[in-house]
């Protein structure tokens, strides 16, 4: 039975509960929430000033930053894309074999470089693959994300979560080798690939049509603006009589007339020349609406005749990348038209209804833009770190300066760390310095390649462990651990820890989950007099496996729009995989790492 909580404990749990709610409800950007937690812990006296800044000098944080730079150097060469396409071409036309080879390569690359970078590179490859195999992109995008997630569980450097757990374990006196996780990780990869082959047939939906205009521009409903010219059939008609939603599956959010925004009682409004309608609609329906009702799109209004008549102009989808500096600014504020020489026709955002003119919407990571402009400028956008291009533009190996070193550097870092010549932090840091010194990744590019959200999130939450020690949380749960072990057995306790951690990471940040759960897992082993290694591995694997929500892991969010998914699609596909991998993990962890 737990002792009565003291004042410090009440403060700690209040901060913890509020932070969890803030993470789930997304009251603030994730890194801001973590910094607020840090400030609250410091001001409440649960940590001192030295503990508050300890996260920023933590070895795991430095290693993660270095690995972002190394991953960027590796991905600059285009090696992942070229190698993956080579594997596809050797599938000999059999869909299941081509898909398996593609997803296997995803898992392999995710074991050694940042899985977010892997998915960013391979989204357009997956789109092209779906076209060639004549299957819906919905059948390949979730598998892409799942394969990247499970591939990251094969090595210590596979995910930031692994590095965090490894660092906490090291501080507690336990060493985990680079390939220690492979003993179970490879089995989970095989199980995931087998599950995906079955899920593609029976579980995953066909949300994205394979033919027609949506074969290429397949995303769901976009936010855009249309203007009513004098010769439009809409001119002079009452809005309620038009039945636009029924005819074009189009939602009119507001009518803008002479600067006034009309959002109520629109049914009785008579549309007039120069009215602007803020609408949400799929691209193919929008094109039909444009042709039949003779409305003007943004491009018609704001681009000159020469630009519109240029045969080299194309339409393309681009996603705001996780590291994009554009997030937080509107298209107007970044002067997108002048800066890139391209025009944003429409914008789409996961799980949010936007009611602001496209140019004024504050961009967020993973927003998808429908862009119109010249093929040359589109190709230039492909190398811009602010964007993930959702269409295949280039499948050649980029012969950047010292490209061979960029390809070899991560295997060298892994080999040096695996042989214990240097620690993971030392090897990755020296590798990052080398690619910067040789000019493979210039210093400014290196800064941009680091996902600072992840860095600040982890650095700010690491002191949470110190706060847990301040209130002696580990000792307080000793009774609960003993009771659970006596009722369910040691393996049952591992199962409880595994599924609680996996559930938490589906709604909370996976790194935050690892920081909270790893010390508790180590303490659980200590209370029971067992080897902590199986408990550490339980958290390491469970905190990295997040399949059942699109917001549980960055790669899930990234494929949400390209796959045209709904929220429940992840629940249907993810929950069975959670159960399968959970059962495998709970059974094999005590076997591979005996209690």
Same domain for 290 and 354, yes or no, is: yes
CB-facing half-sphere around the CA of 476: CA atoms within 13 A: 12
The region that residue 146 occupies, defined by phi over 0 for left and psi between -120 and 50 for alpha, beta otherwise, is alpha
pLDDT of 240 over the 90 cut: no
> Alpha-carbon torsion 332, 333, 338, 339, what sign?
negative
Separation of first and last alpha carbons in the chain: 25
Compute φ and ψ for 319, nearest 5 degrees: -105, 140
pLDDT at 285 over 70: yes
pLDDT tens figures, 424-454: 888 888 988 988 888 888 888 888 878 787 7
Neighbouring CB atoms inside 10 A of 323's CB total 22
Q: How confident is the model at residue 217 (pLDDT cuts 50, 70, 90)?
A: very low
The answer on pLDDT for 348 being more than 90 is no
Counted domains in the chain: 2
Provide the pLDDT for residue 299. Answer: 60
More confident residue, 23 or 2: 23
Instruction: Name the residue with tokens 């009309």.
Output: 262
Tell me how far apart the alpha carbons of residues 85 and 78 are, in angstroms, rounded to a whole number.
11
| Gyration radius of the chain's alpha carbons | 26
pLDDT (tens digit, 9 = 90+) per residue, 9-19? 888 888 888 88
Per DSSP, 238 falls in state B
Residues 380, 405, single domain; the answer is no
DSSP state string for 269-335: PBP-TT-EEEEEE-HHHHHHHHHHHT-EEHHHHHS-HHHHH-TTEEEEEEEE-TT-TTTTSBHHHHT
pLDDT at 84 over 80: no
Measure the CA–CA gap between 62 and 450, rounded to whole angstroms.
Answer: 11
229 and 181, same domain (yes or no): no
**Per-residue pLDDT for 577 more than 90?**
yes
**H/E element holding 374?**
strand 368-374
Distance CA 200, CA 197 (A): 5
Do 227 and 349 share a structural domain? yes
Q: Are residues 344 and 280 in the same domain?
A: yes
C-beta separation of 595 from 537 below 8 A: no
Chain mean pLDDT for the chain: 80
DSSP assignment of 400-464 equals -TTHHHHHHHHHHHHHHHHTTSS-HHHHHHHHHHHHHHTTSS-HHHHHHHS-HHHHHHHHHHTHH
User: In this model, does residue 309 exceed pLDDT 50?
Assistant: no
pLDDT of amino acid 183: 93
| C-alpha dihedral (550, 551, 553, 555), degrees to nearest 10 | 60
The CATH number of the domain holding residue 380 is 3.30.70.1450
Q: pLDDT at position 206, please? A: 75
Range of the domain at 144: 61-209+401-452
| Alpha-carbon span 482 to 358, nearest angstrom | 57
- The secondary structure element, H or E, covering residue 523 is helix 510-528
What are 400's two structure tokens?
């950047």
- Interatomic CA distance for residues 426 and 448, integer angstroms: 22
Look at residue 22 and tell me whether its pLDDT is greater than 70. yes
Residue 315: inside a domain, yes or no?
A: yes
Report the C-alpha gap between 561 and 582 in whole angstroms: 28
Residue 578: pLDDT above 70? Answer: yes
pLDDT of residue 452: 80
**Cα(435)–Cα(72) distance, rounded to whole angstroms?**
10
SS (H, E, C) 85-113: HHHHHCCCCCHHHHHHHHHHHHHHHHCCC
- Tell me what pLDDT residue 195 has: 95
Assigned domain for 267 exists = yes
Statement: residue 200 has pLDDT above 70: yes
Average pLDDT over residues 51-72: 83
The answer on 323 and 224 residing in a single domain is yes
Q: Are residues 189 and 230 in the same domain?
A: no
Split at pLDDT 50, 70, 90, the class of 185 is very high
Q: What is the pLDDT of residue 214?
A: 38
Of 97, 69, 108, 101, the closest CA to residue 85 belongs to: 101
Q: Is residue 47 part of a domain?
A: no
Confidence band for 471, pLDDT divided at 50, 70 and 90? confident
What's the pTM value of the predicted model, to 2 decimals?
Answer: 0.72
Question: What band does 208 get if pLDDT is binned at 50, 70 and 90?
Answer: low
Please check whether residues 202 and 245 belong to one and the same domain.
no
Span of 7-21, 136-150, 216-230, 580-594 with lowest mean pLDDT: 216-230
* Domain membership flag for residue 42: no
Same domain, 448 and 416: yes
pLDDT computed for residue 463 by the predictor = 85
Both 349 and 201 in one domain: the answer is no
Do the Cβ atoms of 176 and 222 come closer than 8 Å? Answer: no
Looking at 241-250, 392-401, 481-490, which range is the least confident one? Answer: 392-401
Read off φ and ψ for residue 388, nearest 5 degrees. -115, 115
pLDDT digits (tens, 9 = 90+) for 144-162: 999 999 999 999 888 888 8
Is 471 in contact with 9 (CB distance < 8 Å)? yes
């Amino acid at each position: 039975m737990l002792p009565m909580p003291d004042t410090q404990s009440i403060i700690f749990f209040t901060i913890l509960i509020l932070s969890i709610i803030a993470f789930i409800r997304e009251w603030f950007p994730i890194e801001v929430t973590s910094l607020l937690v840090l400030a609250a812990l410091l001001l409440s006296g649960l940590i001192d000033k030295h503990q508050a800044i300890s996260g920023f000098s933590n070895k795991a944080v430095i290693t993660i930053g270095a690995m972002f730079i190394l991953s960027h150097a590796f991905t600059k060469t285009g090696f992942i894309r070229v190698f993956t396409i080579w594997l596809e071409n050797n599938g000999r036309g059999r869909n299941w074999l081509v898909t398996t080879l593609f997803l296997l390569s995803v898992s392999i690359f995710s074991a050694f470089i940042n899985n977010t970078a892997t998915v960013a590179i391979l989204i357009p490859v997956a789109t092209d693959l779906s076209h060639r195999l004549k299957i819906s992109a919905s059948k390949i995008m979730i598998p892409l994300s799942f394969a990247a997630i499970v591939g990251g569980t094969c090595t210590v450097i596979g995910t930031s979560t692994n590095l965090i757990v490894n660092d906490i374990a090291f501080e507690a006196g336990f060493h985990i080798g680079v390939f220690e996780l492979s003993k179970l990780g490879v089995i989970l990869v095989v199980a995931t690939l087998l599950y995906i082959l079955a899920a593609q047939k029976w579980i995953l939906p066909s949300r994205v049509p394979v033919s027609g205009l949506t074969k290429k521009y397949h995303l769901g409903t976009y936010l855009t603006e249309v203007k009513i010219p004098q010769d439009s059939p809409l001119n002079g008609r009452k809005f309620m009589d038009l039945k636009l939603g029924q005819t074009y599956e189009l939602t009119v959010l507001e009518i803008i007339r002479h600067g006034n925004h009309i959002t109520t009682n629109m049914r009785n409004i008579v549309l007039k020349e120069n009215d602007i309608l803020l609408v949400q609609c799929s691209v193919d329906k929008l094109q039909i609406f444009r042709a039949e009702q003779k409305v003007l799109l943004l491009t018609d209004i704001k681009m000159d005749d020469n630009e519109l008549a240029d045969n080299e102009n194309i339409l393309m989808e681009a996603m705001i990348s996780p590291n994009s500096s554009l997030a937080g600014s509107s298209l107007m504020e970044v002067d997108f038209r002048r800066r890139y020489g391209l025009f944003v026709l429409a914008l789409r955002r996961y799980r949010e209804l936007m009611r602001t003119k496209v140019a004024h919407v504050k961009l967020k990571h993973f927003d998808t833009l429908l862009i119109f402009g010249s093929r040359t400028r589109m190709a230039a956008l492909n190398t811009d770190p602010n964007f993930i291009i959702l269409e295949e533009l280039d499948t050649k190996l980029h012969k950047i300066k010292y490209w061979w070193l960029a390809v070899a550097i991560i295997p060298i870092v892994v080999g040096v760390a695996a042989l214990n010549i240097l620690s993971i932090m030392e090897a990755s840091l020296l590798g990052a310095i080398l690619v910067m010194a040789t000019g493979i990744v210039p210093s400014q590019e290196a800064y941009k390649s680091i996902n600072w959200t992840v860095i600040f999130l982890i650095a700010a939450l690491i002191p949470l462990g110190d706060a847990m020690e301040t209130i002696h949380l580990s000792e307080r749960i000793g009774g609960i651990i003993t009771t659970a072990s006596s009722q369910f057995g040691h393996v049952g306790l591992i199962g409880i820890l595994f599924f609680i951690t996996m559930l938490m990471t589906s709604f909370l940040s996976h790194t935050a989950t690892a920081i909270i759960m790893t010390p508790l897992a180590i303490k659980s082993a200590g209370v029971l007099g067992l080897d902590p290694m199986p408990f550490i591995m339980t958290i390491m694997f469970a905190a990295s496996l997040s399949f059942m929500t699109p917001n549980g892991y960055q790669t899930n969010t990234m494929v949400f729009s390209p796959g045209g998914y709904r929220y429940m699609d992840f629940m249907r596909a993810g929950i069975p995989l959670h159960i399968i991998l959970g059962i495998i993990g709970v059974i094999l962890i005590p076997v591979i790492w005996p209690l």
